[in-house]
Amino acid sequence: MTDMARRGGSVAIVGRPNVGKSTLLNRLLGQKLSITADKPQTTRHRILGVVEQPGGQLALLDTPGIHRMRGARALNHALNRAALGAVIEADVVWFMIAAGQWDEAEDRILASLVREARPVMLLVNKIDRLKRREDLLPFLQSIAVKYEFVEIFPISALKGDNAQRLVEHTLAHLPEGGARYPQDQLTDRSLRFISAEFIREQIMRSLGEEVPYAAAVTIEQFEESPTLVRIIATVWVERDGQKAILIGKGGTRLKTIGSAARQSLEALVERKVFLQLWVKVRAGWQDDPRFLHSLELDDLK
């Protein structure tokens, strides 16, 4: 097959927070690119991951979970905008839900997808979690009537069940000649950006409810050599109390976060990583357009 003939296109992965969108992206890439945690609203950006297959190329767009806006902080608007922006860019949409769960949030998301008129494949994730397998079929029947989905796919992003079939079926819906990224390109995000995300991932994972949502990471220094990547980063929080929690007694929590982030970065860059973290307070950053701009959170990316 010539390169010109290879099928390809963009696929937006959308759904409510925490259904497993980033887990699926990483699974299909065969490596971690998008951060995951057992908490809603982990993903804050649109993350491109390019999946190469013999039959073509999928440009997967992982998106922030679409959520109902409580209050109207600029950050929340940016998250929903990033998700819907990816849908507008996409040739096909993967609408992900968790097996057994369809309520008002799903109705709302579906309504916005219908408006954009893209072919929608429904992904029913976390089938490995179902206690009774026989519950799956009636659930699939009950959601099949919601919309004319192009296909409905039960999957497990975590275990990989049905993931390869999903890719093959999706390629069939993408145009010939649509592969647009070089075959060795993984993403359009810089290593610097991914580093900030990997640090944020560990904050999401190691702290309770409040602090992760008040935290943002910026990279102050990023130097690469063939053997070492040297990173100095600042973690921004909104209040002094959050700073104290993040640092922990005698600095232990920050140390644990830094060490876990360093390890996951080393796996990505296949080099040693030196990582230094600072914590600073910036009240109201979630409403500060200039700061959101510096986090690349003000565009449709």
Ligand X SMILES: Nc1nc2c(ncn2[C@@H]2O[C@H](COP(=O)(O)OP(=O)(O)OP(=O)(O)O)[C@@H](O)[C@H]2O)c(=O)[nH]1
Q: What is the maximal distance between C-alpha atoms in the chain?
A: 60
Does residue 22 interact with ligand X by CB under 6 A?
Answer: yes
In the list 41, 187, 242, 286, the residue contacting ligand X (rule: CB under 6 A) is 41
Cβ-proximal residues to 149 (8 Å cutoff; 6+ apart), any chain: 95, 120, 121, 122
The CA angle 168-171-174, to the nearest 5 degrees, is: 165
What span, in angstroms and rounded, lies between the C-alpha atoms of 66 and 86?
12
Q: What is the DSSP string of 150-169?
A: SEEEE--TTT-TTHHHHHHH
- CA distances in angstroms from 216 to 48, 211, 212, 291, 298, listed in the order given: 20, 10, 8, 10, 14
Does residue 195 interact with ligand X by CB under 6 A?
Answer: no
Does residue 157 interact with ligand X by CB under 6 A?
Answer: yes
- CB contact burial 197-207 (16+ within 10 A = b; e otherwise): bbbbbbbbbbb
In the list 11, 12, 14, 19, the residue contacting ligand X (rule: CB under 6 A) is 19
Question: Any known ligand binding at 251?
Answer: no
Does residue 40 interact with ligand X by CB under 6 A?
Answer: yes
Question: Any known ligand binding at 255?
Answer: no
The residue with tokens 């192009």 is 150
Question: Any known ligand binding at 205?
Answer: no
Question: Any known ligand binding at 219?
Answer: no
In the list 6, 10, 12, 21, the residue contacting ligand X (rule: CB under 6 A) is 21
Q: Which stretch binds ligand X (CB under 6 A): 32-40, 45-53, 179-187, 237-245?
A: 32-40
- The nearer residue to ligand X, 43 or 286, going by C-beta atoms, is 43
Question: Any known ligand binding at 80?
Answer: no
Does residue 187 interact with ligand X by CB under 6 A?
Answer: no
Question: Any known ligand binding at 3?
Answer: no
- Whole-number minimum distance, CB 3 to ligand X, in Å? 31
Within 220-259, the residues that bind ligand X by CB under 6 A are: none
Dihedral, CA of residue 85, residue 91, residue 97 and residue 100, to nearest 10: 150
Sign of CA dihedral 178, 181, 187, 192: negative
Question: Any known ligand binding at 199?
Answer: no
Within 100-129, the residues that bind ligand X by CB under 6 A are: 125-126, 128-129
What span, in angstroms and rounded, lies between the C-alpha atoms of 118 and 75?
26
- Whole-number minimum distance, CB 157 to ligand X, in Å? 4
- CA distances in angstroms from 20 to 158, 223, 292, listed in the order given: 8, 33, 25
Residue 41 CA from chain centroid, whole number: 9
- Whole-number minimum distance, CB 7 to ligand X, in Å? 26
- Whole-number minimum distance, CB 106 to ligand X, in Å? 13
Does residue 162 interact with ligand X by CB under 6 A?
Answer: no
In the list 65, 85, 154, 212, the residue contacting ligand X (rule: CB under 6 A) is 65
Binding residues for GTP are: 15-22, 62-66, 125-128
Chain residues that interact with ligand X, rule: CB under 6 A = 15, 17-23, 36-38, 40-43, 64-65, 125-126, 128-129, 156-158
